[in-house]
Amino acid sequence: MENFSMMEDIMTWFSENAADWGIRIAIAIAIFIIGKIVARILANVLEKAMRRSRMSDLLVSFLGNITYGILLIAVVIAAVDSLGVNVTSFMAILGAAGLAVGLALKDSLGNFAAGVIIIIFRPFQIGDYITAGGTEGTVDEIGLFATLMHTGDNQRIIVPNSAIIGDNIINATTLPTRRIDLVFGIGYDDNIGQAKDILKSILDADERVLEDPAPVIRVGELGDSSVNLQVRPWVQTGDYWPARTELLEIVKIRFDEAGISIPFPQRDVHMHEVRSVA
pLDDT digits (tens, 9 = 90+) for 106-139: 566 778 888 888 887 888 988 999 999 889 999 9
Q: Clarify whether residues 58 and 73 are in a common domain.
A: yes
For residue 102, what are the CA distances in angstroms to 96, 106, 107, 109, 125? 10, 6, 9, 8, 30
pLDDT-derived band of residue 204, with 50, 70 and 90 as boundaries? Answer: very high
Judge whether 264 lies within some domain.
no
| Judgement on whether residues 147 and 228 belong to the same structural domain of the protein | no
pLDDT at 174 over 80: yes
70 & 155 share domain? no
Range of the domain at 196: 177-258
pLDDT at 56 over 60: yes
Distance CA 47, CA 57 (A): 9
Q: Are 60 and 50 in contact (CB under 8 A)?
A: yes
Going by the DSSP 8-state scheme, the letter that residue 214 receives in this structure is P
Burial, 113: exposed, middle or buried (Cβ in 10 Å; 0-12, 13-18, 19+)? middle
Q: What value does the mean pLDDT of the chain take?
A: 82
234 and 249 share one domain: yes
Q: Which of 104, 132, 157 is the last residue of a domain?
A: 104
Residues 82 and 137 in one domain: no
Three-state DSSP state, 60: helix
Please name the residue ranges forming H helices in 53-87: 57-82
Task: Give per-residue burial for 44-74: e unless 16+ CB within 10 Å, then b.
Answer: eebbeebeeeebbeebbebbbeebbeebbee
pLDDT digits (tens, 9 = 90+) for 150-167: 998 999 999 999 899 888
Classify residue 238 by its DSSP letter.
G
Q: Residue 33 sits in a domain of what CATH number?
A: 1.10.287.1260
Give the C-alpha separation, 208 to 237, whole Å: 10
Percentage of the residues of the chain whose pLDDT score is greater than 90: 38
Same domain (yes/no): 157, 182: no
Residue 60 domain flag: yes
**Tens-place pLDDT, residues 60-90:** 776 777 787 788 888 887 877 777 666 666 6
Lowest mean pLDDT among 33-37, 126-130, 185-189, 233-237: 33-37
For 210, the 3-state DSSP assignment is: coil
**How many domains does the chain contain in total?**
3
Report if residue 265 sits inside a domain: no
Task: Kindly indicate the confidence band of residue 229, based on its pLDDT and cuts at 50, 70 and 90.
Answer: very high
Answer yes or no: is 109 within a domain: no
pTM as predicted: 0.62
Together in a domain, 236 and 149? no
Q: Hey, what amino acid is at 38? A: V
Residues 146 and 219 in one domain: no
Same-domain status, 93 and 183: no
